[in-house]
Amino acid sequence: MTRLSEVYPPDRVVLREVGLRDGLQMVRRHPSTAAKADWLRRESSAGVRHFEIGSFLPAMAMPQFADVREIIDICQRLDVHSAALVLNDRGAADAVQTPVGEIVTVVSATEEHSQANARRSRKDAIALVGRTVEMARNSETLPLVQAGISMAFGCSIAGEVDPDEVVRIAAACADAGADIIGLADTVGFAGPDQVQDLVECVKNELGDVALSIHLHDTRGMGVANASAALDAGIRVIDGSLAGLGGCPFAPGATGNVVFEDLIYLCERKGFATGIDLEKLMSAREIAASEMPDEHLRGALARAGAPRQISWHAQQSTG
């Protein structure tokens, strides 16, 4: 069994909680390191095994991620899979010096967003994927490398995005050696049919390459789009506790699909997640106390989880 299939078994749904990275990009206040550790402990105790926990960016620019190395070490002790974002060679070089389980790189689907987000062309961003892969494969810890394609379903700067262009970029990232390709609805433009169509196009072009999907709920379509992704064969889906999140370089971007609601969707569709919803919901207390100015969303938080769903999650193996 390869490391990729150990981390992301192709026959099981994996839900990744990205609240500690994407969820903190635009907050007014951010949790302390101790609060982040409690967040991780509570969610791992509930059965969450995959987290995106920060970015290797200058602390001056993103102080909320200044403790990324400490958080990676906490993940190590909890025996959960950690992923962290890098946007340049320096970040990738720093990341491979840590025991992080996965390095996330970003390639924009549009040239306009690529320049706004990272001040580089898409060609240069794909080249960074290749260099990051090389660093990862020459490191002692051998982290996975994910290439996330932002604005894959529409761009708030450039508008419509040609699906063929997304397929081309996905193929280029796979050729560069990325272990997993992510399709991101960065500003919440997508609908279920569009999600299903694009996933099928990428799968037809790339074959068995591992795919994930990252959804934002800007227009209330997050859960419906996640359902369409599952129907199209996606088995790795991102969500954020309480729907926290947004992108400072994507006008109009708001929070991610609510992680708790995503778990409920999967269980209702017959995919065992191994996550206890009642235990998971307690992590919202940390977000509420550490970031009182942030709006915490979620249908499960509002209506509650049916008891049989919590029982099923406790009994499942993943």
Q: Helices marked H in the chain — which ranges? A: 3-7, 33-45, 68-78, 89-95, 111-118, 122-137, 163-175, 192-206, 222-231, 259-268, 277-281, 284-290, 299-303, 307-315
Question: Could you give the CA distance from residue 50 to residue 43 in angstroms, rounded to a whole number?
Answer: 10
Q: Does the pLDDT of residue 314 top 60, yes or no? A: no
The pLDDT tens digits of the residues spanning 200-246 come to 999 999 998 999 999 999 889 999 999 999 999 999 999 999 999 86
Q: Which residues are catalytic?
A: 247
The pLDDT tens digits of the residues spanning 144-187 come to 999 999 999 999 889 999 999 999 999 999 999 999 999 999 98
Question: Could you give the CA distance from residue 161 to residue 115 in angstroms, rounded to a whole number?
Answer: 16
**Please, which pLDDT band fits residue 248 given cuts at 50, 70 and 90?**
low
The predicted structure's pLDDT at residue 303: 87
**Please, which pLDDT band fits residue 123 given cuts at 50, 70 and 90?**
very high
Q: Does the pLDDT of residue 310 top 90, yes or no? A: no
- pTM higher than 0.85: yes
**Please, which pLDDT band fits residue 253 given cuts at 50, 70 and 90?**
low
Question: Could you give the CA distance from residue 296 to residue 298 in angstroms, rounded to a whole number?
Answer: 7
**Please, which pLDDT band fits residue 315 given cuts at 50, 70 and 90?**
very low
* Integer angstrom CA distances of residue 208 from 109, 125, 143: 21, 23, 20
> Measuring CA to CA, which residue among 52, 48, 42, 46 is closest to residue 14?
48
- Coil, helix or strand for 290? helix
Q: Does the pLDDT of residue 2 top 80, yes or no? A: no
The predicted structure's pLDDT at residue 252: 56
Q: Does the pLDDT of residue 76 top 60, yes or no? A: yes
**Please, which pLDDT band fits residue 116 given cuts at 50, 70 and 90?**
confident
What value does the mean pLDDT of the chain take? Answer: 92
Asked if 238 and 213 touch (Cβ cutoff 8 Å), the reply is yes
The separation between the first and the last C-alpha atoms of the chain, rounded to the nearest angstrom, is 18
Share above pLDDT 70 across residues of the chain, in percent, rounded to a whole number: 92
The predicted structure's pLDDT at residue 300: 85
The pLDDT tens digits of the residues spanning 265-290 come to 999 999 999 999 989 999 999 999 99
Asked if 55 and 66 touch (Cβ cutoff 8 Å), the reply is no
